[in-house]
Copies of this chain bind each other. A is one copy, B any other.
Amino acid sequence: MITTQKKAAGKSRLSLARYFPILDWGARYNRDILTSDLVAALIVTIMLIPQSLAYALLAGLPAQVGLYASILPILAYAIFGTSSTLAVGPVAVISLMTAAAAGQVAAQGSPEYIAAALILALLSGAILMVMGLLKLGFLANLLSHPVVSGFITASGIIIATSQLKHILGISASGESMPRLLNTLYANILDLNVTTLIIGVASMAFLFWVRKGLKPLLIGLGLSHRPADLIAKAGPVVAVIISILAVVILDLAEYGVKTVGIIPTSLPPISAPMFDAQLWQELAIPALLISIIGFVESVSVAQTLAAKRRQRIDPDQELIGLGSANLAAAFSGGYPVTGGFARSVVNFDAGAETPAAGAFTAVGIALAALFLTPFLASLPIAVLAATIIVAVLSLVDLKTPFIIWRYSKSDFSAMTATILITLILGVESGVIAGVLLSLALFLWRSSRPHAAVVGRVPGTEHFRNIERHKVITLPHLLMIRIDESLTYLNARWLEEYVLEKIAGRDELRHVVLMCSAINAIDASALESLEAINHRLSDAGITLHLSEVKGPVMDRLKRSTFLDDLTGDIFLSQDKAFADLAVRTEDGDSPQQTGDIWQARGLI
Using a CB–CB cutoff of 8 Å, the interface residues on chain A facing chain B are 3-4, 6-7, 138, 140-146, 298-299, 302-303, 305-312, 314, 402-403, 405-407, 410-411, 437, 441-444, 446-449, 482-484, 486-492, 494-495, 498-499, 501-505, 516, 518-519, 521-523, 525-527, 530, 534-535, 537-538, 550, 554, 557-559
Q: Contact check, B518 vs A449: say whether CB atoms are below 8 A apart.
A: yes
Q: Contact check, B492 vs A522: say whether CB atoms are below 8 A apart.
A: no
Complex Cα–Cα for A305 and B534 (A): 9
**Residue picked from A484, A492, A559, most chain B C-beta under 10 Å:** A484
Q: Contact check, A487 vs B538: say whether CB atoms are below 8 A apart.
A: no
Residue of B nearest to A6 (CB): B502
Please give the distance in Å from A522's CB to the nearest CB on chain B.
4
Please give the distance in Å from A358's CB to the nearest CB on chain B.
24
Please give the distance in Å from A461's CB to the nearest CB on chain B.
13
Please give the distance in Å from A305's CB to the nearest CB on chain B.
7
Q: Contact check, B490 vs A145: say whether CB atoms are below 8 A apart.
A: yes
Using known A-B contacts A7-B503, A307-B538, A521-B410, determine if residue A145 contacts B516 with beta carbons closer than 8 Å: no
Q: Contact check, A491 vs B443: say whether CB atoms are below 8 A apart.
A: no
14 additional A-B residue pairs with CB within 8 Å, beyond A138-B446, A146-B487, A309-B505? A3-B503, A141-B488, A145-B490, A145-B527, A146-B523, A306-B534, A307-B538, A311-B498, A311-B499, A314-B491, A314-B495, A406-B558, A441-B488, A483-B484
Using known A-B contacts A405-B557, A558-B405, determine if residue A442 contacts B498 with beta carbons closer than 8 Å: no
Interface of A: prevailing SS? helix
Q: Contact check, A144 vs B483: say whether CB atoms are below 8 A apart.
A: no
Q: Contact check, A4 vs B503: say whether CB atoms are below 8 A apart.
A: yes
Q: Contact check, A141 vs B491: say whether CB atoms are below 8 A apart.
A: yes
Q: Contact check, B145 vs A402: say whether CB atoms are below 8 A apart.
A: no
Complex Cα–Cα for A144 and B442 (A): 13
Q: Contact check, A146 vs B490: say whether CB atoms are below 8 A apart.
A: no
Please give the distance in Å from A10's CB to the nearest CB on chain B.
9
Using known A-B contacts A138-B492, A303-B534, A311-B502, determine if residue A145 contacts B7 with beta carbons closer than 8 Å: no
Q: Contact check, A501 vs B309: say whether CB atoms are below 8 A apart.
A: yes
Q: Contact check, A487 vs B141: say whether CB atoms are below 8 A apart.
A: yes
What are 21 A-B interface contacts by the 8 Å CB criterion? Answer: A7-B503, A138-B442, A141-B487, A141-B488, A143-B487, A144-B523, A145-B522, A146-B522, A302-B494, A303-B530, A305-B498, A306-B535, A307-B534, A311-B498, A311-B502, A402-B559, A405-B557, A441-B487, A444-B519, A449-B550, A482-B518
Q: Contact check, B410 vs A522: say whether CB atoms are below 8 A apart.
A: yes
Please give the distance in Å from A25's CB to the nearest CB on chain B.
15
Q: Contact check, B489 vs A141: say whether CB atoms are below 8 A apart.
A: yes
Contacts of A3 in B (CB 8 A): 502-503
Contacts of A488 in B (CB 8 A): 138, 141-142, 441
Contacts of A437 in B (CB 8 A): 487
Q: Which of B142, B144, B302, B554 contacts A521 (CB 8 A)?
A: B144
Please give the distance in Å from A513's CB to the nearest CB on chain B.
14
Complex Cα–Cα for A49 and B155 (A): 62
Complex Cα–Cα for A600 and B602 (A): 35
What are the 5 closest A-B residue pairs judged by CB atoms, nearest first?
A: A306-B534, A144-B487, A410-B522, A145-B523, A138-B446
Contacts of A7 in B (CB 8 A): 502-503
Please give the distance in Å from A168's CB to the nearest CB on chain B.
37
Complex Cα–Cα for A142 and B554 (A): 23
Please give the distance in Å from A180's CB to the nearest CB on chain B.
30
Q: Contact check, B138 vs A558: say whether CB atoms are below 8 A apart.
A: no
Residue of B nearest to A516 (CB): B518
Complex Cα–Cα for A103 and B474 (A): 56
Contacts of A312 in B (CB 8 A): 498
Complex Cα–Cα for A309 and B499 (A): 9
Complex Cα–Cα for A530 and B310 (A): 15
Q: Contact check, A145 vs B537: say whether CB atoms are below 8 A apart.
A: no
Contacts of A526 in B (CB 8 A): 145
Q: Contact check, B442 vs A406: say whether CB atoms are below 8 A apart.
A: no
Contacts of A491 in B (CB 8 A): 140-141, 298, 314
Residue of B nearest to A313 (CB): B495
Complex Cα–Cα for A516 and B517 (A): 9
**Residue picked from A140, A448, A489, A491, most chain B C-beta under 10 Å:** A491
Complex Cα–Cα for A489 and B448 (A): 17
Complex Cα–Cα for A527 and B306 (A): 13
Contacts of A405 in B (CB 8 A): 557-558
Complex Cα–Cα for A550 and B494 (A): 25
Contacts of A406 in B (CB 8 A): 522, 525, 554, 557-558
Complex Cα–Cα for A449 and B449 (A): 20
Complex Cα–Cα for A146 and B524 (A): 10
Q: Contact check, B447 vs A138: say whether CB atoms are below 8 A apart.
A: yes
**Residue picked from A4, A311, A495, A522, most chain B C-beta under 10 Å:** A522
Contacts of A519 in B (CB 8 A): 444
